[in-house]
Amino acid sequence: MAQSVLLTGAAGRVGDAILGDLADEHEWRLVDRDPPTGEQPGEFVVADITDGDAVRAAMDGIDVVIHLAGDPRPEAPWDSVLTNNIDGTQTVFEAAVDAGVEKVAFASSNHAVGAYETDDRTPDMYRTHDDYLLDGTELPRPGNLYGVSKAAGETLGRYYHDERGLSVVCIRIGNLTEDHPPIDYERGQAMWLSYRDCAHLFDRCIRAEYGYEIVYGISDNDRKYYSIDRARDVLDYQPRDNSAEHD
């Protein structure tokens, strides 16, 4: 059955990947502070996610929220991540609970755990002979303030699940690129997420049943230091791409 889905950050790259494959699969309401370019698959609300009134209005009649909006730069300064990523995410979770939304999928990041990539582990952990693996049960270990903001978003999700009854899945997205994995970048190849696997993963977040989860969002790359077992088990994520199959 089609569900009513609110997609924040719809005008960005991850939003583009999701809507590229799923435009006809659900009833979409799109939110971004940047106005749309071209035709959209649903109502487009131009709003900032830190504007509580606008976010509450956008939640009306919504079953599921995919929350992407935020500053995606690993080098983003504290004032930006505090406003866009932490305050904005709290505003979205709070409005979702108030509106009786069932589930929220939160775009977390590999950078929430970037500091596990210590000097003694790298670059081996990016290569197939190495078996170092993070599975989503480890504590956050950010290597920058952007990663801190994503860990904060995951913790907000934990609170809104435990105390406010929301189903929440946090996707620690790897490196999304269109058509092929990053070139000459071993780390990016190990955490590549293809556009079609990205769309499929978020489709599973819309359709699956869960309580509170943290999963990694990468394709089925030969070398991976993030496990996708939890995404497979809980969401029935079945990726089709593998960075090793590209030159």
Q: Which of 175, 219, 221, 243 binds ligand NAI (CB under 6 A)?
A: 175
Q: Which stretch binds ligand NAI (CB under 6 A): 65-73, 114-122, 132-140, 199-207?
A: 65-73
Q: Based on CB atoms, which residue is closest to ligand LXAUTJHC, 166 or 192?
A: 192
Q: Which stretch binds ligand LXAUTJHC (CB under 6 A): 45-53, 108-116, 120-128, 135-143?
A: 108-116
CB of residue 117 to ligand LXAUTJHC, shortest distance in Å:
10
One-letter amino acid of 33: R
Q: Which distant-in-sequence residues (6+ apart) come within 8 Å of 39 by Cβ?
A: none
- Does the footprint of ligand LXAUTJHC cover residue 187 (CB under 6 A)? yes
Distances (CA, A) of 18 to 12, 139, 176, 198, 208: 10, 28, 11, 7, 16
Termini Cα distance of the chain: 39
Q: How far from the centroid of its chain's Cα atoms is residue 2's Cα? A: 21
Q: Which distant-in-sequence residues (6+ apart) come within 8 Å of 19 by Cβ?
A: 7, 10, 28, 30, 41
- Does the footprint of ligand NAI cover residue 12 (CB under 6 A)? yes
Cα gap 193→188, rounded to integer Å: 9
Q: Which stretch binds ligand NAI (CB under 6 A): 35-43, 62-70, 121-129, 220-228?
A: 62-70
Contacting residues toward ligand LXAUTJHC, per CB under 6 A? 72, 74, 109-111, 175, 187-188
Contacting residues toward ligand NAI, per CB under 6 A? 9, 11-15, 32-34, 48-50, 68-72, 84, 88, 107, 109, 173, 175-176
